[in-house]
């Protein structure tokens, strides 16, 4: 969490990748987001919890109202989301890649005097309000979170529903298609280049695999939430202690 806050608060100096004069790839108008950050984060945080609570109650005999199993996995899922965000936001700062609407939202003063396809390594935005919207193209955070959430839920349903019905299969398809549409919308909106979207999806895959197979034990944990603490917390707490066999 500390690393994420440091990145978001711009504690460290940010890198500028530079631009080529009159680059058509950076000359698109800024039109906003089809899928806003607020909507994406709400979906990322709320939908998995709702799905897991309902599935554990209906398919896995969790009728006590405590929903211990679902909460156990949701906690690990949130850690995976945070890890995803840290990687993506750190790369945005380290790379400093101009967005497709760079000239519109940054309006660098150097672009007024450069000619042809001259490369400009350093620039100063004249639209200070839009600086944060101009040079954080690589990688796509929307794509990374959408792919992480969509595949996580689709695989969770595959693992935790017995004899999946057509409704479950349809729900899995909707989640995967929604993740794909969210990713493609970043190019429709000219908020990212295609390689930014590809990079965002690529980052999501190893983080997702770590979340599913290491943190969530491939959704095979059978313990109550009170007996199933976060693996990250457990490793920190247990590291200095000797195992029973060693004592």
Q: What pLDDT sits at residue 66?
A: 55
Residue 61: strand, helix, or coil: coil
pLDDT of 12: 60
Residues of the chain scoring pLDDT < 50: 224-226, 234-247
pLDDT at 247: 33
Helix axes 68-95, 37-59, angle to 10 degrees: 160
199 and 138 in contact (C-beta within 8 Å)?
Answer: yes
For residues 200 and 97, the answer to whether their CB atoms sit within 8 Å is: no
Burial 64-90 (b: 16+ CB within 10 A, else e): eeebbbbbbbbbbbbbbbebbbbbbbe
Q: Using CA atoms, how far apart are residues 92 and 139, in angstroms rounded to an integer? A: 6
Return the bridge partners of 108, or none.
Answer: 125
Domain positions in the chain are 34-98+137-235
End-to-end CA distance of the chain: 35
Are 30 and 101 contacting, i.e. CB atoms less than 8 angstroms apart? yes
Instruction: Look at residue 238 in the predicted model and tell me its pLDDT.
Output: 46
Helix axes 68-95, 141-160, angle to 10 degrees: 160
Residue 39 has a pLDDT of 94
């Amino acid at each position: 969490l500390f690393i994420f806050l440091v990145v978001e608060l711009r504690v460290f100096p940010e890198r500028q990748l530079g631009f080529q004069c009159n680059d058509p790839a950076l000359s698109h108008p800024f039109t906003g987001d089809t899928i806003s950050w607020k909507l994406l984060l709400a979906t990322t945080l709320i939908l998995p919890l709702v799905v897991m609570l309902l599935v554990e109650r209906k398919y896995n005999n969790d009728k006590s109202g405590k929903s211990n199993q679902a909460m156990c996995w949701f906690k690990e899922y949130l850690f995976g989301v945070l890890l995803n965000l840290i990687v993506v936001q750190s790369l945005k700062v380290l790379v400093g890649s101009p967005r497709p609407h760079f000239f519109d939202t940054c309006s660098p003063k150097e672009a007024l005097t450069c000619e042809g396809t001259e490369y400009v390594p350093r620039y100063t935005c004249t639209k200070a309000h839009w600086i944060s919207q101009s040079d954080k193209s690589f990688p796509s955070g929307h794509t990374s979170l959408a792919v992480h959430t969509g595949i996580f839920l689709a695989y969770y349903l595959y693992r935790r529903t017995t004899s999946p019905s057509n409704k479950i299969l349809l729900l899995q398809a909707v989640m995967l298609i929604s993740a794909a549409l969210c990713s493609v919308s970043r190019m429709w909106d000219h908020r990212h280049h295609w390689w930014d979207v590809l990079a965002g999806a690529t980052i999501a895959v190893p983080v997702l695999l770590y979340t599913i197979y290491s943190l969530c034990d491939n959704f095979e944990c059978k313990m109550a939430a009170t007996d199933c603490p976060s693996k990250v917390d457990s490793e920190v707490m247990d590291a200095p202690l000797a195992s029973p066999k060693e004592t």
